[in-house]
Amino acid sequence: MSGGNPTMAPCDVERCAAAGCIPTLCVGAGLASNDEVFERSCAAIPGGVNSSIRAFSSVGGRPYAVARAEGAHVIDVEGTRYIDLVQSYGAVILGHAHPAITAAVAGAAVDGTSYGAPTPREMRLAETIAGAVPSCDQVRFMNSGTEATSTAVRLARGATGRDRVVIFHGNFHGATDALLAAGGSGVATLGLPGTAGVPAGAVAETLVVPYNQVPELTDEVAAVMVEPVAANMGVIPPAPGFLDGLRAECDRVGAVLIFDEVITGFRLGRGGAQATFDVTPDLTTFGKVIGGGLPIGAVGGRRDLMEQLTPLGTVFHAGTLAGNPIATAAGLAALDLLTPDVYIELMARARHLSAVLRDACDAAGFAASFPVVGTLVGMVTGDVPRPVDFAGATRTDEAAYARFFHAMLAEGVAMAPGAYEAIFVGLGHTDDVLDRIGEAAHRAAATAVAATG
């Protein structure tokens, strides 16, 4: 990857030795370039990536390979340092390698990495979440947001004795067969697999409806699952009355309302989107922030529903690494620091970032807008109206995003390699870092305009 500010070696031998690092396992050891890592990864890993969104398929080019990260920055194997706006797609909120997290991880690791028995840490993390999030009397942990959404759907189906699940076009709930259903634009669609490998039967009871419109439900519906702020098609707030309307409609037919707060949980605030918008779902799914950057997922909800999970109830759930001691230690450390004041600060930073990006694009004549919902920032590229649903979101000019993305990367700012991802601001993004992003964006926007064919 060209450009950036090569200021730091990817592998600092003295620092690594002091940390007791094993040289042959060192991330940067013996690796000359991003290209070498990518080519060897492509030979060993399909597409060279372990999550498809990390590939540069939609922006072109090859991904940089991260050797390490600190605060607002990632450093690739060539030593190029980027201001990072990906932040592990929202899993990292304190900034990379925050001392509280590294201490918690190191401290937990010496006690053993997994036991197959209950632990006080998972108890405390469940208590912390239940104490902060309105819908959660109880919490059950797993290892990813995907596991959380699939468990929540199974729980809702088991609890209601119904099969049908309603989801919203453009919302993303992870790689769960039943939730990988394709939606047509505008109209409700039932049972179209969203990807090869999902059998028609897996989505035959999944109804996909437009975001920000309250669907009329029938008493066949087990659950409505929604991103209370849509953050996988840009960042789209719920329309006034949308979440309340879902609550009322679920109550009317006896369906379970599930908020997928894998992104918004402990990111919009300690109570998540449900506290922000004052609508309480029956179940909530979590991931990302609650693990402090380590693998985690969770389902929380009303006691009578949660107790239908095994061993008390009949809806099966289990996981070898569920409630993992290191992930729960990191999660506790993160949630401990995320006080209400921190969210006020993060909201100010989100507004600051949106403003510097908007000013830069306006000055260069590069058409883009940067919606802010609380601490979340989105980017809509092109001269298009602010989207309220998937049909609007897909009017985004993806080619223009790709030009801006590469120009920003060359200026030393790493955005997500996809036009529909949120921009994640964290505690690492101090005001001077945000101003540097603004300066980079001025040059990048001009470059992107000049590159328009």
Applying CB under 6 A, the residues found at the interface with ligand PLP are: 89, 144-146, 149, 172-174, 227, 232, 260, 262-263, 287, 297
Which residues neighbour 426 within 8 Å (Cβ) at sequence distance 6 or greater?
A: 72, 87, 92, 93, 94, 95, 346
Quick one: tokens of 46? 């399909």
Angle at 281 between CA 279 and CA 284, to 5 degrees: 125
Residues 254, 395: contact at Cβ < 8 Å? no
Tell me how far apart the alpha carbons of residues 435 and 441 are, in angstroms, rounded to a whole number: 10
Q: Which is nearer to ligand PLP, 78 or 261 (CB)?
A: 261
- Give 37 or 180: the residue with its C-beta nearer to ligand PLP: 180
Give 96 or 403: the residue with its C-beta nearer to ligand PLP: 96
What are the tokens at 382?
């092109």
Minimum distance from residue 282 beta carbon to ligand PLP (Å)? 17
Cβ at position 260, least distance to ligand PLP in Å: 5
**Which CB atom, from 172 or from 366, has the smaller least distance to ligand PLP?**
172
Residue with the shortest CB distance to ligand PLP: 145
Minimum distance from residue 376 beta carbon to ligand PLP (Å): 11
Cβ proximity to ligand PLP: between 269 and 297 the closer is 297
Name the CA radius of gyration of the chain, rounded: 22
- Least CB distance from residue 146 to ligand PLP, whole Å? 3
Rounded to 10°, the helix 120-132/325-337 angle is: 40
